[in-house]
Amino acid sequence: MDMNLYNQEAVQTLLMPLDQATASARLRRLAQNLERFRAGEVAWPVPTDYVNNHIHTSYSFSPYSPCDAAYRAWLSGLTTAGIMDHDSVSGAMEFIHAGQLLGIATTVGFECRCSMAGTPFENRRLNSPDQTGLAYVACHGIPHGQLELADRWLAPCREKRNARNRRMTARLNERIGEEALRLDFDQDVLPLSKHHEGGSVTERHLLYALSRRILAVYGAGQWAIRFLVEGLHIPLDESEQKALSDAADPLYAYTLLGILKKHLVERFYIDAADECPTVPAFTAFARSIGAIPAYAYLGDVGQSVTGDKRTQAFEDSYLDELVPWLAKNGFCALTYMPSRNSQAQLKRLMTLCEQYGLFQISGEDINSPGQSFVCPTLNMPAYRHLIRATWALIGHEKAATADADSGMFSEKTLAKWPDLQERIARFSVIGRTR
């Protein structure tokens, strides 16, 4: 059940901010919130079997701390939730502890971008709207004892990405040209992130800083629309103009961010290069720590579900070539967002996954306020297997945390249960066992 449909007034009263300066303070506040439920001030959320394995937090780009993300997932009725930050695992332990307080099963991982140089896809647009030859990938089910090692592996990626972020901030200033909107990376962008705690800084941070500056200079509503159309020459469609006309919208800065991301990134984006590991480096590292390397399918975009993507072609024209290549080159899984794609796209994708033995992981990309943590598509019979797969993912994480050789894709496990479906069945039982 979506939090927006669940006892809305009472829930909003109980949503005391979980944005304190430290993880320990946020966890204490979460415990205080839960005491109000135990005291009977409001009914407990109705549990469902909904799952979500792709929730971003403030350690990449999101309005939610790890505690807040887990809390909102729980309030939405989810029985499992997964943290998936860009280039960072720094929020993972807080997310795990929050899940333990809430009684919701959790899984932890990270998302990063890989260079496809030297592969058959180095000149193709995969799942990155901004750059060819680049692939978003996910490292799922990280054993908890390996999180520190994962952070050390990701640290150079964040450092190199920030060097590029600085150059992109300078280019963005040049492209806009208006002194009043000029951004300072250290003063305007970095404070919006958790970089000092091992969090990442993304293009969204740059654009959110710009959104705030536009609102400070022009205000919301018609003046903001006029600046975007006349000052930035952004061709706003009817729905975008309508959204930006609501000056009283409390999420206005995020609405503006989404529109800027859709139309402006190509004007200041600088291709990512040395910050991106190669595919062999990524898959080898993920396997070495007992995690599950996964490719993140995007698929051709018509009407963007998240509202921040243009109509654009991605992997669908060569999917029959890509999926077997992934299976042969170290990937164990393919992750996708069921609400984002058509049933025809998903049927084709699932058939290829089954044909080439790739584990299927679902996840709704949560990075902005107002998004639903729930994916109703999972109610459809064709996608119910994704719920069992999530419990198998959780079972893998439990098993691999206890014993590195007992994960779902370890040599020992593969020798014992070579059939993927049997492994999913066995690990889903482990996942559901408290």
pLDDT digits (tens, 9 = 90+) for 386-431: 999 999 999 999 999 999 899 999 999 999 999 999 999 999 999 9
Inter-residue contact 132 to 84 (CB < 8 Å)? no
Strand partners, 225: none
What is the DSSP-derived secondary structure letter of residue 2?
Answer: -
Inter-residue contact 142 to 89 (CB < 8 Å)? yes
- C-alpha 422/C-alpha 425 separation (Å) is 5
Q: Is the pLDDT of residue 7 over 90?
A: no
The model's pLDDT over 335-378, given as tens digits with 9 standing for 90+, comes to: 999 999 999 999 999 999 999 999 999 999 999 988 999 999 99
The model's pLDDT over 301-334, given as tens digits with 9 standing for 90+, comes to: 875 444 445 688 999 999 999 999 999 999 999 9
Query: Where residue 9 falls among pLDDT bands split at 50, 70, 90?
Result: very low
Q: Which of 115, 169, 138 is nearest to 53 (CA)?
A: 138
End-to-end, the C-alpha distance of the chain in Å comes to 23
Q: Is the pLDDT of residue 18 over 90?
A: no
Please state, for a pLDDT cut of 70, what percent of the chain lies above it.
Answer: 94
Q: Is the pLDDT of residue 42 over 90?
A: no
pLDDT of 188 reads: 98
Inter-residue contact 141 to 402 (CB < 8 Å)? no
- C-alpha 326/C-alpha 292 separation (Å) is 13
What is the DSSP-derived secondary structure letter of residue 377?
Answer: G
In the three-class reduction of DSSP (H, G, I as helix; E, B as strand; rest coil), residue 133 is classed as coil
